[in-house]
Amino acid sequence: MTSLQLFATSPKGTSKLLIRELEELGARRAKASTAGVAFRGHLELAYRACLWCRTANRVLLQLDRFPARTPQQLYAGIQATTWSQHVAPSGTLAVDLHSADSQIRHSRYGAQVVKDAIVDQLRAQYGTRPSVELKRPDVRVNVYLRNDIATLSLDLAGESLHRRGYREEGVPAPLKENLAAAVLLLADWPALAREGAPLIDPLCGSGTLLLEAALMAGDIAPGLQRDYYGVLGWLRHDARLWTALLEEAYQRRERGLSRIPPVYGYDVAPGAVRVALANVKRAGLARLVHVETCELAQTAPPSGLGAGLLVANPPYGERLGDEQTLQPLYRTVGQVIEERFSGWRAAILSANPRLRQAIGLPAKRSHALYNGPLPCQLQLLDTQRGAMGKPREAEAASDGAHMLANRLRKNLRHLRRWARRSGISCYRIYDTDLPEYALAVDLYQGDQRWAHVQEYQAPPTVHPARARERLRQALPIVAEILEIAPQQVFQKQRRRQRGRQQYPKLADRSCFHTVQEGPCRFLVNFTDHLDTGLFLDHRLTRDMLQRMARGQRFLNLFGYTGTATVHAAVGGARSTTTVDMSATYLDWARRNFELNRLDPQRHQLVKADCLAWLAQASHRVGERYGLIFLDPPTFSNSKRMSTDFDLQRDHPWLLRQTARLLAPDGILIFSTNRRKFKLDQAALAALAVEDISRATIPEDFARNPRVHHCWRLRQRRAARS
């Protein structure tokens, strides 16, 4: 499957949100710019971006880049693309061209040149040419000229993705749907919705914020109701794939409708309420989103509702009324929040700083956004009455800490019985079970008991101070529930790594502790590295290797601390070879070997770049193994390697090269913790591949079945003969 260069445009100020959306869909190498996000992926990812991205405007498939200093160069560059692969001679097309810092300054003229180049090529080939259709063409071509370099793309969305399909009417100055989605994401609405918290918009207008909130809460694809996409008339459109993705989205919608919490909208204008109700009905949410006429000053939470999110987009004084007229409205917003929504979260979007000040409540956080060309601020307000005294958030946090303690206690009660029956002394007891406490907690037991706590980095929507407060509460709770001293709780932060970032060494205390796993003993370190030296989620995989290893020559590539090798050796492997580039980890592996009294003559440690070692070993006579374990990093750009390594990109070569080292009937176990990894089976036709992931997920990781993927591979018999 071909990897495509893609670009998603979005409103200014939302690129970080869009990156997160795209990465959740499986995007690789996502990189933000002022206009959007560049990323790579397959056609399925491009389709998913069109269907599921809430903050994007368009999804562009890059076809070419070339110099275009003159109209002639632009014409020639466009003709270098074979257009018969994209648009039918009898079809329709439109061209969008944007120019910045280039000799071709006139966008309409440049678009005319592009159109001529396309239709001239097709006319010469077929004797007919596509016609121009500006609104909904079969194919929309996008050209971005910057510094006399043209980037040629196809617009897979066809028209802006903010057009969801549920709005047919509007009121003056509507909020675009993708900007409304950005507001809700920054206000942490998805997390609140999962907890069942309500949402109220006291100035709902045509209901955009209400509908976007309901779509998010119900796991409903924002593009599900659109009847037009730019891909539908594209000649390379994969209709079967598109239909499958639509069917998946419909199924998710059916499951998600029941999870939508109470969503209420109010507006003083009966006309706006009628429009909002019509939009709600078109969105299929008539029984789930409540809208009624109500003056702002009378707005209050319906009885029986707990605290939730109040969100509003009041008029700015730009197009609707003037500033003096709007001052009382903003003051009323502040009064209503303080008097009736104390303890709620409140998010107000406005483009007028003086009007924002009229609200009278301090902002805990603010985010710069743009509503079209208008610079705006989204303010997340302190809703405590008088904005003084003990914050309600502290009370909520205390409630959250109580919930965390209960969850830890419940998990430990269940897992402790399982661990005792299974003879397991090190296991995971908590893994982001509660969204507010994004932690993984592992219990290690040897001559003492220790807790290893990994904090997942909070998203941009969570203020760092709040994240720190939650962690501060969590650590003593972990110590209390596990009945250990606070100094036996070790905490790390696991951040999302992008591009060339890698985790550095955290300390150099060299303090090791001994733990038991089945018949094997291992050294773990809780301070010096992000990981402890023993990956608990691979416990069943190591046990499987131990059972398969008897009488075999065993190879462990990217061997880390040699724990898989120890299991293979204890299981009766005839000999083992462990390859890793890190002297630190190889020394750690050596100490694990000594701890388990392995014969160094039979169990070899090799310091080498695994990729280079593989390339050389596959040509050496007799370098064959009955059992190989391959657990490579997701990405590496170490200076000690001859080239950078990207697992998703490079795994076909890696697996084929490793499989060449298999003895007849040898087995290769391949594992990765990259959650969105997709195995390219078409590139591995010479191998028999069996997905054994489910069988390798231990009980203590069952809450997160995507913690790793694992396959068993063999050479096909035809290839071995």
Q: Coil, helix or strand for 289? A: strand
Q: Give the residue with greater pLDDT, 492 vs 270.
A: 270
One domain for residues 69 and 25: yes
Neighbours of 604 (CB within 10 A): 13
Same domain, 703 and 671: yes
Look at residue 150 and tell me if it is in a domain: yes
What would the mean pLDDT of 627-650 be, rounded to a whole number?
Answer: 80
Q: How confident is the model at residue 720 (pLDDT cuts 50, 70, 90)?
A: very low
The region of weakest confidence among 383-397, 415-429, 482-496, 524-538 is 383-397
Of 28, 16, 18, give the one whose Cα is nearest residue 59.
18
- Please say whether the beta carbons of 588 and 569 come within 8 A: no
Reduce the DSSP state of residue 172 to 3 states and report it. Answer: coil
Are residues 328 and 420 both part of a single domain? no
Whether 109 and 134 share a structural domain = yes
Q: What is the pLDDT of residue 388?
A: 26
Which pTM does this prediction carry?
0.56
Q: Phi/psi at 352 (nearest 5 deg)?
A: -120, 110
Identify the domain boundary among 345, 363, 386: 386
Alpha-helical segments (H) within 2-91 = 15-25, 43-52, 71-79
pLDDT at 322: 61
Domain end (from 354, 386, 418): 386
Q: Give the integer Cα–Cα distance in Å for 361 and 480.
A: 38
Q: pLDDT tens digits, residue range 561-578?
A: 999 999 999 999 999 999
31: Cα separation from own chain's centroid: 13
Residue 398, pLDDT score: 53
pLDDT tens per residue across span 676-693: 899 998 899 999 999 999
Helices (H), 496-608: 539-548, 563-570, 583-595
The mean pLDDT of 662-678, rounded to a whole number, is 93
Six-digit token string for 587 = 């020394």
Contacts of 126 (CB under 8 A, 6+ apart): 84, 89
Question: Which amino acid would we find at residue 24?
Answer: E
Q: Which amino acid is at 641?
A: M
Mean pLDDT of 489-512: 60
Angle between helices 464-482 and 392-422 (to 10 degrees): 40
Q: What pLDDT is attached to residue 721?
A: 40
Count of domains for the chain: 4
Distance CA 544, CA 562 (A): 15
Least confident interval from 126-135, 355-364, 443-452: 355-364
pLDDT at res. 448? 86
Is there a domain that residue 500 lies in? no
Question: pLDDT higher for 658 or 387?
Answer: 658
Of 69-73, 368-372, 546-550, the one with minimum mean pLDDT is 368-372
pLDDT score recorded for residue 54: 97
CATH at residue 664: 3.40.50.150
Residue 524's pLDDT is 95
Instruction: Check pLDDT > 80 for residue 195.
Output: yes
Contact 294, 329 (CB under 8 A): no
Alpha-carbon span 695 to 693, nearest angstrom: 5
> Which of 111-125, 348-362, 658-672 is the least confident region?
348-362
Residues 632 and 655 both lie in one domain: yes
Band (193; pLDDT cuts 50, 70, 90): very high
Model pLDDT for residues 436-469, shown as the tens digit of each residue: 788 999 999 988 889 999 988 776 666 666 777 7
Whether residue 585 is found in the same domain as residue 701: yes
Rounded to the nearest integer, the mean pLDDT of the chain is: 89
pLDDT for 48: 97
User: What per-residue confidence (pLDDT) applies to 607?
Assistant: 95
Tens-place pLDDT, residues 226-268: 999 999 999 999 999 999 999 999 999 999 999 999 999 999 9
CATH number at residue 457: 3.30.750.80
Q: Is residue 238 part of a domain?
A: no
Which among 541, 598, 588 has a CA at the least distance from the CA of 566? 598
On whether both 593 and 675 belong to a single domain, the answer is yes
Domain that holds residue 412: 392-494
pLDDT in tens, 69-98: 999 999 999 999 999 999 999 999 999 999
pLDDT band per the 50, 70, 90 thresholds, residue 209: very high
Q: What is the pLDDT of residue 366?
A: 85
The answer to whether residue 234 is domain-embedded is: no
User: Are both 670 and 627 inside the same structural domain?
Assistant: yes
In terms of C-beta density within 10 A (0-12 exposed, 13-18 middle, 19 or more buried), how is residue 127 classed? Answer: exposed
Give pLDDT tens digits for 302-339.
988 889 999 999 988 654 446 677 888 999 999 999 99
Range 153-179 average pLDDT: 86
Residue 250 lies in a domain: no
Tokens 């499986």 found at: 26
Distance set, CA 674 to CA 179, 244, 375, 579, 632 (Å)? 31, 24, 38, 21, 10
Average pLDDT over residues 386-401: 45
- Contact call for residues 145 and 97 (beta carbons, < 8 A): yes
Whether 527 is covered by a domain: the verdict is: yes
Dist CA 613 CA 657 (whole Å): 10
pLDDT of the residue at 473 = 82
* pLDDT of the residue at 464: 66
Q: Per the domain annotation, does 652 fall within a domain?
A: yes
Nearest CA-CA partner of 217 in 236, 198, 243, 240: 198
- Which pLDDT tens digit goes with each residue over 283-306? 999 999 999 999 999 999 998 888
Do 468 and 352 fall into the same domain?
A: no
Greatest mean pLDDT among 497-506, 509-518, 556-565: 556-565
Checking if the pLDDT of 602 tops 90, the result is: yes
Q: State residue 502's pLDDT score.
A: 45
- Please indicate, yes or no, whether residues 632 and 673 belong to a single structural domain of this protein: yes
488 near 448, Cβ under 8 Å? yes
pLDDT at 392 over 80: no
* Mean pLDDT computed over 517-535: 92
pLDDT for residue 318:
56
Q: What is the mean pLDDT of residues 483-508?
A: 64
Task: Band the pLDDT of 394: cuts 50, 70, 90.
Answer: very low
> Cα separation of 550 and 160, whole Å?
61
Confidence of residue 492 (pLDDT cuts 50, 70, 90): confident
pLDDT of residue 321: 44
Task: Identify whether 594 is part of a domain.
Answer: yes
For residues 72 and 149, membership in a common domain is answered with yes
Report residue 391's pLDDT band, with 50, 70 and 90 as the boundaries: very low
Q: Domain of 42: which CATH number? A: 3.30.2130.30
**Which pLDDT does position 437 carry in this prediction?**
86
Closest CA to 531 of 558, 560, 557: 560
Residues 330 and 205 in one domain: yes
Q: Which of 167-176, 275-284, 307-316, 414-423 has the lowest mean pLDDT?
A: 167-176
d(CA 367, CA 164): 24
- Cβ pair 252, 219 in contact under 8 A: yes
pLDDT surpasses 50 at 719: no
